[in-house]
């Protein structure tokens, strides 16, 4: 899916026609909203993103043609999770889930908690 022109995350999700992939995106959104206390949910670069008020996006997720991406724009958090990320499909700071049944929600939750724990510089 190319960058969305949706004005908000509800609009973005409404564009998703594939039920299995929509279910994953909705679950990722729920995790973000639960774990990222005090963060703003915004659309950035055509995808759902989460940032501290007035800051740069630190987390984003998106539907791509071949996978679902979960982007962690915090190099400091990625470094802490280097061992757990080693077995994952990772590139350019994004986890790529090519099959909906392979989404590691526990890892995503832990990454979100680490991101929320303290501010850091987003790349």
List, for residues 35-52, the tens digit of each pLDDT value. 999 999 999 999 999 999
CA distances, 100 to each of 68, 87, 96, 116 (Å)? 8, 17, 10, 25
Q: How far apart are CA 65 and CA 113, in angstroms?
A: 28
Tokens of 6: 């949706």
pLDDT higher than 90, residue 2: no
70 pLDDT band, cuts 50/70/90, is very high
Rounded Cα gap, residues 7 and 59, in angstroms? 18
pLDDT, greater one: 5 or 89: 89
Q: Which of 85, 62, 81, 79 is nearest to 123 (CA)?
A: 79
Report the predicted TM-score, pTM, of the whole model to 2 decimal places.
0.93
Please give the pLDDT value at position 1: 58
Q: Is the pLDDT of residue 112 over 80?
A: yes
- Give the pLDDT band of residue 110 (cuts 50, 70, 90): very high
* Per-residue pLDDT at 92 exceeds 90: no
pLDDT band at 5 (very low <50, low <70, confident <90, very high): confident
In sequence order, what are the beta bridge partners of 59? Answer: 50, 72
Q: Please tell me what DSSP assigns to residue 118.
A: S
Is 40:49 a contact under the CB 8 Å cutoff? no
Q: Which CATH number applies to 9-117: 3.30.830.10, 3.30.160.60, 3.40.50.300, 3.90.1150.200?
A: 3.90.1150.200
- Tell me what pLDDT residue 19 has: 96
């Amino acid at each position: 899916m190319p960058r969305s022109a949706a004005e908000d995350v509800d609009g973005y999700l409404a564009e998703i026609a594939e039920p299995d992939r929509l279910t994953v995106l909705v679950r990722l959104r729920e995790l973000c909203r639960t774990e990222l206390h005090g963060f703003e949910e915004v659309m950035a670069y055509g995808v759902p993103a989460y940032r501290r008020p007035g800051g740069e996006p630190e987390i984003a997720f998106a539907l791509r043609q071949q996978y679902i991406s979960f982007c962690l724009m915090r190099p400091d958090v990625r470094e802490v999770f280097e061992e757990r990320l080693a077995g994952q499909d990772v590139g350019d700071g994004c986890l790529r889930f090519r099959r909906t049944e392979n989404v590691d929600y526990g890892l995503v939750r832990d990454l979100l908690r680490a991101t929320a724990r303290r501010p850091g510089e987003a790349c």
